[in-house]
């Protein structure tokens, strides 16, 4: 029997994601507020019931706006990872702004946990060409924002040259480990209704239908890989609604019954690094 690792990860954006989009009126702010006020206590209770250590990527804006909710997450023993300060994607920032955000939010994480973040997840999963070097310079072990694999971590490249009319020239691998994500395993696009001046994200999918996909992705891992990690991404203001909490608990119960090993992303990264340095790699 293989070792199927499940990482439950939570992007605790609260109101920062709406602010980053310029949506600062009471409606969107209240939508984000559901996270710290309602979603987080429900999620912490569910994780405690099942004895699961998870990973939380918290923007500096949330850390400093909702310190009590963040303290509750840290006190429950969950990993606290980096998720920017303003929730603006690095690809939209200057180099100076990107590094300033890294430092400022890392300092807020250090105040909360006593140590800087080991893991980084970029807002909106969009790194800049500078991000890898900055993450290495600031001591990060892993990133969790990219999608080139599903169940197997991999080394992040630096210095790719990607242009329209020439073949891509890929740079060398670095020490930074990627713990890959996927929009299919993210609650947001399935569930959130979002209307902007140029687009509509319909969301509001049947949670049991989405749950079926999420379970089948675990089944494929279990049936095809001797060792692998599946990473689910949730947002407290999205997954914290009643019917979705029921789906999340069904997911946890089903995977537990099937022998899944739940752990934080930093622990899964450490296990991968240990395996890949020895004869048992992959
Ligand atoms: Zn986010």
In this predicted structure, what is the pLDDT of residue 281? 41
Token reading at 107: 């300092």
Cα 3 to ligand 1 centre (Å): 29
166-204 pLDDT, tens digit per residue, is 999 999 999 999 999 999 999 999 999 998 889 999 999
- 197 burial level (CB within 10 Å; 0-12, 13-18, 19+): exposed
Cα 17 to ligand 1 centre (Å): 6
Residue 254 predicted with pLDDT over 90: yes
Residue 278 predicted with pLDDT over 70: no
Give the torsion through C-alpha atoms of 253, 255, 258, 259, to 10 deg.
-100
Token reading at 226: 């001797």
Each residue of 135-147: b (16+ CB within 10 Å) or e?
A: bbeeebbbbbbbe
Mean pLDDT, all residues of the chain: 96
Cα 275 to ligand 1 centre (Å): 30
Cα 191 to ligand 1 centre (Å): 15
Residue 280 predicted with pLDDT over 80: no
Residue 282 predicted with pLDDT over 50: no
In this predicted structure, what is the pLDDT of residue 277? 83
- 237 burial level (CB within 10 Å; 0-12, 13-18, 19+): buried
Give the Cα separation of 152 and 229 in Å (integer). Answer: 6
Cα 92 to ligand 1 centre (Å): 15
Say which residue, 280 or 219, is predicted with more confidence: 219
In this predicted structure, what is the pLDDT of residue 197? 87
Contact between 187 and 239 (Cβ < 8 Å): yes
Cα 280 to ligand 1 centre (Å): 35
Q: Which of 2, 7, 1 is nearest to 150 (CA)?
A: 7
Residue 103 predicted with pLDDT over 50: yes
Residue 274 predicted with pLDDT over 70: yes
Cα 167 to ligand 1 centre (Å): 32
Window from 120-129, 147-156, 269-278 with minimum mean pLDDT: 269-278
194-241 pLDDT, tens digit per residue, is 988 899 999 999 999 999 999 999 999 999 999 999 999 999 999 999
Cα 1 to ligand 1 centre (Å): 35
pTM for the full model?
0.96
Residue 68 region, left (φ>0) first, then alpha (ψ -120 to 50), else beta? alpha
Indicate the pLDDT class of residue 1, thresholds 50, 70 and 90: confident
Q: What is the SS3 assignment for 7?
A: strand
In this predicted structure, what is the pLDDT of residue 279? 55
19-58 pLDDT, tens digit per residue, is 999 999 999 999 999 999 999 999 999 999 999 999 999 9
107-126 pLDDT, tens digit per residue, is 999 999 999 999 999 999 99
Give the Cα separation of 202 and 199 in Å (integer). Answer: 10
């Amino acid at each position: 029997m293989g070792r199927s690792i499940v990482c439950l990860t939570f992007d605790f954006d609260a109101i920062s994601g709406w602010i980053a989009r310029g949506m600062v009126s009471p409606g969107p702010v209240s939508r984000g507020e559901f996270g710290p006020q309602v979603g987080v206590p429900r999620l912490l209770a569910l994780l405690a019931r099942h004895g699961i250590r998870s990973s939380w990527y918290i923007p500096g804006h949330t850390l400093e706006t909702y310190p009590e909710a963040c303290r509750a997450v840290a006190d429950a023993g969950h990993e606290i990872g980096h998720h920017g300060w303003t929730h603006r994607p690095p690809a939209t920032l200057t180099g100076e702004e990107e590094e300033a955000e890294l430092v400022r939010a890392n300092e807020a994480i250090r105040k909360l946990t006593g140590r800087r973040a080991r893991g980084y997840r970029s807002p909106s999963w969009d790194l800049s060409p500078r991000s890898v070097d900055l993450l290495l310079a600031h001591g990060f072990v892993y990133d969790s924002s990219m999608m080139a694999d599903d169940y197997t971590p991999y080394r992040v490249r630096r210095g790719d040259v990607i242009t329209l009319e020439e073949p891509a020239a890929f740079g060398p691998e670095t020490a930074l480990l990627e713990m890959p994500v996927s929009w299919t395993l993210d609650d947001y696009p399935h569930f959130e209704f979002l209307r902007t001046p140029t687009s509509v994200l319909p969301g509001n999918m049947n949670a049991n239908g989405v749950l079926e996909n999420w379970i089948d992705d675990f089944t494929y891992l279990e049936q095809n890989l001797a060792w692998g990690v599946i990473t689910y991404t949730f947002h407290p203001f999205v997954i914290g609604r009643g019917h979705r909490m029921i789906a999340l608990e069904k997911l946890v119960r089903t995977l537990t019954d099937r022998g899944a090993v739940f752990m934080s992303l930093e622990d899964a990264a450490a296990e991968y690094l240990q395996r890949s340095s020895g004869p048992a790699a992959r």
